[in-house]
Amino acid sequence: MSDDTRPIHPVWLRVTHWLNALAVVIMTMSGWRIYNAAPFFDFKSAKAMTLGGWLGGAIQWHFAAMWLLAANGLVYLLCNAGSGRLWTKFFPLSPRAIVADLLAALRGHLSHADPREYNAVQRAAYLFVMVDAVLLVLSGLVLWKSVQLPLLRELLGGYEAARRAHFFAMAALVAFAAVHLAMVALVPRTLLTMIRGR
């Protein structure tokens, strides 16, 4: 198959991308409602931006999306690693390349001519999101089954530390999503390739 006809994004990537997006939206909105029940900062999320209606409903939405995120994320990682895509798309990566591409992007000189190739900033961001999602799942397990998972709880510094890690990991994911959507708005054909694959 020639380079012009092969998909930019394989079917498994597109399906897992959109399922992850759905899971993140549900988990974020239900998580804001859960946070509102016992905030540890001096603010609460607006009720209109939360999901679940009440604490019990929010927890049920959160757990449903948690299983989707964990299972779908595992499929995504296994397909990336098994196909070799993880190594070819995200590596090599160096701090120098990240800084160079970031500076080029800020000056408006970063090329998006070939959507098959990720620049160093994209590589770093996508790798960060993978690690961040793992931290979200692990810290979420501590919040859900703290007594049953004492070793994991202690590795994360205790229940309260895991709660804060979960909050900041989700905040980082929301920040990534905001930047990601802004970049899609600037280069709209990337949305079409994630829908059609070409």
Identify the CA nearest to 172 among candidates 133, 121, 120.
133
* Angle in degrees, 0-180, between the axes of helices 189-196 and 11-37, rounded to the nearest 10: 110
Q: Which two tokens stand for residue 164?
A: 């804060």
pLDDT per position as a tens digit, 143-198: 999 999 999 999 999 999 999 999 999 999 999 999 888 888 877 777 777 777 66
How confident is the model at residue 188, as a pLDDT? Answer: 75
Q: What angle do CA 152, 156, 160 make, to 5 degrees?
A: 110
How confident is the model at residue 2, as a pLDDT? Answer: 43
Give the containing element (helix H, strand E) for 197.
none
Architecture category of domain 11-196 in CATH = Up-down Bundle (1.20)
Mean pLDDT across the chain? 88
Q: Are 26 and 64 in contact (CB under 8 A)?
A: yes
Identify the CA nearest to 161 among candidates 181, 178, 138, 177.
138
pLDDT per position as a tens digit, 67-89: 999 999 999 999 999 998 889 88
